[in-house]
Structure 1
Amino acid sequence: MSLKVGVPKEIKPLEGRVALTPTAAGDLTHQGIEVGIESGAGIPSGYPDSDYAHHGVQILPDADALYDWAELVVKVKEPIEPELHRLKRNHLLFCYLHLAPNPTLTRKLCDIGLTAIAFETVVDQGRLPILVPMSDIAGRIAIQVGAHLLHIPQGGPGILLGGLAAVERGNVVVFGAGTAGGAAVRAASALGANVTVFDKNPQQLAHMHHLAPNITALVPTKSVVDEKVADADLVVGAVLLPGAAAPRVVSRAQVAQMRPGSVIVDISVDQGGCVETTRPTTYDDPTYLEEGVRHFCVTNMPGAVPRSATQALSAAMVPYLKVLLTPDWQADPRLAGGVNVHDGKVVHPALL
């Protein structure tokens, strides 16, 4: 008998995503799986309760009812207060967790004693299939937001990233040429900026180099990083070590050499950030100044475009959710390898 799948409303500030679209939830109910959703959970993504009810999804009146009813809790972001006291030992939790920079949450999940599988540590043939679509969105948002923060009304120096005739192009530096970094590189290149991307993977560098003539792909040596960061209008951090804390690739001293009003967007903030001056922010208060540089370090960047992000997340995640609903899911290395905590203990190698 399959577990009851419960989808709560996200309560992180201005987080509009929901774990399942109505059609994805309906795909499960049509297979005889019980699915419940907290009333109103889909509204920020444009999905009213009636859309879910049409597909046979049970509508639970509030969070307490949802967590009491559910056995498998599927959500988007890591649980925060007051969600933690609703989680029980018998729950199976499936969501983005990003535990490496959050020992407090790790300890609380262990104290609860449940099993928690992180979307970002599900690995399939060397890929991170549930993380990829959100990383793609975050990379694009990084350039959109960064370009906006360079405008005078936002406290920027008044730079148009792409330039125009008789005007210099803006300079964008991206650390990491994976999904998020690659998306940022493509978006910045399309605007017409001068783009420099740093990565240690020669295949990734070759791919970035051939995307467009305004992209320079380099290995991150200190002297070159010093030079490029100091001359950057926008720096994007997109370095990822799956499940582990992000390495610091930009120091405070390097940030201090940037021009006043320049911008840093650290997508790696979910894993602690790859810039020394990074600290987590929310969409309620998304930016801060450090060393004269405007920082945007929101921990749920795709939450700003919930309609698009929900559709992409649901499509990527549901195939693995279906496996999780089978009695022998622990025999599947993709999901078993994604378990972060179990029975009061941290079990994922990146967190040990």
Structure 2
Amino acid sequence: MRIGVPKEIKNHEYRIGLTPAGVRELVGHGHSVMVQRDGGRAIGLTDDLYERAGAEIVETPEEIFERAEMIIKVKEPQPDECRMLREGQVLYTYLHLAPDPEQTRLLVESGCTAIAYETVTDDRGGLPLLAPMSEVAGRMSIQAGAHALERAQGGSGVLMGGVPGVRPAEVMILGGGVVGLNAARMAMGMGADVTIFDRSLPRLKYIDELYGDRLNTLYSTEEAIDQHLATVDLVIGAVLIPGASAPKLIRREQLAIMEPGSVLVDVAIDQGGCFETSRATTHQAPTYEVDGIIHYCVANMPGAVARTSTFALTNATLACAIQLANKGAARAMLEDVHLLRGLNVHRGQVTYEAVARDLGYDYVPAAEALSD
């Protein structure tokens, strides 16, 4: 199979879809890989490294999209990239379609086969291709939140760990999944007072058994959230419903409960955000203020630590990429139910139920669409 890896074009996105090691593995399986020139240069992955791994260096994204049978990316295709996709071509990347009607429309119109990292599953019910970026984003959320709390950034001027005689920051984490747990680890490590909210009692029990009295766990209700907003310094939005738009857990009127200069970090912004006042921002301009509350809503948070993120992502996505290349996309997905769940769009049909429901498309089950 001919595989293409274009340079990412989203604002301040320095990750790349494959490391040289990933290229070497695919070439070893008999496939050809094209990498756009300087695609990984910003993170020290030079064209020479890719060539030594067996890749062909290609000058333009147009050539990659024209020649490749499968496109491997990191972020969702931008409109110009969507228009280069064609029927029968496989797109393998993060998509986050539910809050993005334009991208969904363009992918449907292209006729391509679009496989989303974030909806591929595993035997334990996890999301193994999303997990590494969730780990990165969870840890980064505390780093970003601590910076936003600085007075010079518009925050209240609270130090995460406090000092002897002065209270530490209070951190509220909405969601006890991979993002939430990694955020909690970082916040506790910085000495903050941490509370995780979740609606899964088994998950809350697991977190409690894991960390004991080092953090607090609370069943998530509107009342419990309201009570904590009055004293909290930093809120991390870490809620995920696979493939669907994130629920809005904090409404604009609730911002009035919070102290001015408090910070909201919305890690769920890729899925539309879990705060009513969230809107996607970039690393170039990461924050904005609403009613005295600082919002950090960068839609590609792991892109800030692009080298770590690229290696973690290839580690997670490579095995499925090899399956898709070795067997062809249709056969690979029909033989692997977990990979099948990654199919979101195929030949003009929306094949992921939550996306179809949220955006008003007719839903066609993935296996049925591939069998036509």
Shorter-chain TM-score above 0.5: yes
Following superposition, the deviation at residue 212 of structure 1 comes to 4.8
- Residue by residue over 1:169-224, the C-alpha shift from the partner in whole angstroms, topping out at 9 and shown as x without a partner, is 11000000000011011111111111111001112212322315231100012222
**1:254: which partner in 2?**
254
Question: Deviation at 1:97?
Answer: 0.2
Aligned-pair CA distance for 1:250: 1.3
Structure 1 alignment gaps of length 5 or more: none
Q: How far, CA to CA, are the matches of 1:203 and 1:191 in structure 2?
A: 27
Give the 3-state SS of the residue equivalent to 2:289 in structure 1: strand
- The offset of 1:334, in angstroms, is 1.5
Q: How does 1:112-131 map to 2 (within 5 A)?
A: 112-125=110-123, 126-131=125-130
What does the per-residue CA deviation read over 1:112-161, in whole Å, with 9 as the maximum and x for residues that have no partner?
Answer: 11110000010111110000000000001100010011112212121111
Partner amino acid for 2:322?
K
SS state at 1:52 partner: helix
2: CA distance between counterparts of 1:120 and 1:66?
A: 24
Tell me, what secondary structure is at the counterpart of 1:249?
Answer: coil
Distance in 2 separating the partners of 1:348 and 1:123: 13
Matched with 1:15 is 13
Q: Which among 107, 110, 126 is matched to residue 109 of structure 1?
A: 107
2:332 maps to 329
Kindly indicate whether the alpha-carbon contact (under 8 Å) linking 1:193 and 1:214 is maintained by their aligned counterparts in 2: no
Give the aligned partner of residue 305 of structure 1. Answer: 305
1:185 and 2:184 matched: yes
SS class of match (2:195) = strand
Q: CA deviation at 1:284?
A: 1.8
1:241-284 alpha-carbon deviations (Å, 9 max, x no partner): 00011111111122221111110000000000111111111112
The aligned amino acid for 2:165 is: A
CA separation in 1, counterparts of 2:66 and 2:95?
A: 21
Residue 345 of structure 1: aligned partner: 349
Moved more, 221-230 or 32-41: 221-230
- Who is 1:275 aligned against? 275
Q: Distance in 1 between matches of 2:225 and 2:51?
A: 54
Which residue identity does 2:102 align to in structure 1?
Answer: T
Distance in 2 between residues matched to 1:256 and 1:207, nearest whole Å: 33
Q: Percent identity?
A: 43
Q: Is the 8 A contact 1:192 1:214 kept in 2?
A: no
TM-score (norm 1): 0.97
CA contact (8 A) 1:136 1:183 kept: yes
Distance, in Å, in 2 between the alignment partners of 1:228 and 1:208 is 19
Report 1:1-352 matches (<5 A). 3-125=1-123, 126-210=125-209, 211-325=211-325, 326-327=327-328, 328-331=331-334, 332-352=336-356
Larger mean CA deviation between 282-291 and 170-179 belongs to 282-291
TM-aligned CA distance change 1:146 to 1:274, over 3 Å: same
Amino acid at match of 1:87: L
CA contact (8 A) 1:264 1:295 kept: yes
Equivalent position SS for 1:340: strand
- Secondary structure in 1 matching 2:264: strand
Could you tell me how far apart the structure 2 residues matched to 1:131 and 1:250 are? 24
1-side partners of 2:291 and 2:91: how far apart? 39
CA RMSD in angstroms, aligned pairs only: 1.1
- Between the aligned partners of 1:153 and 1:249, the Cα distance in structure 2 is 28
Q: Match for 2:148: what amino acid?
A: L
One-letter identity of the residue aligned with 1:124: D
In 2: Cα distance, 1:256 partner to 1:329 partner: 51
Counterpart CA distance in 1 for 2:134 and 2:62 is 31
In structure 2, give the amino acid aligned to 1:311: F
Give, as a single letter, the amino acid of the residue that structure 2 aligns with 1:183.
N
SS at match of 1:281: coil
Q: Which amino acid aligns with 2:260?
A: P
Inter-partner Cα distance in structure 2 for 1:121 and 1:221: 27
Give the letter for the 2:244 counterpart. A
CA contact (8 A) 1:232 1:258 kept: yes
1:323-351 deviations in whole A, cap 9, x for unaligned?
Answer: 11113213221122211011111111111
Q: Deviation digits for residues 297-341 of structure 1, max 9, x if unmatched?
A: 011000000110000000000011111111321322112221101
Q: Which one has the bigger helix percentage?
A: 2
Stretch moving more, 273-282 or 78-87: 78-87
Distance 1:335 1:220 in 2: 32
- Alignment-mate amino acid for residue 32 of structure 1: G
> Would you say the 8 A contact 1:189–1:212 is kept in 2?
no
Q: Is the 8 A contact 2:88 2:347 kept in 1?
A: no
What's the TM-score once normalised by structure 2's chain length? 0.92
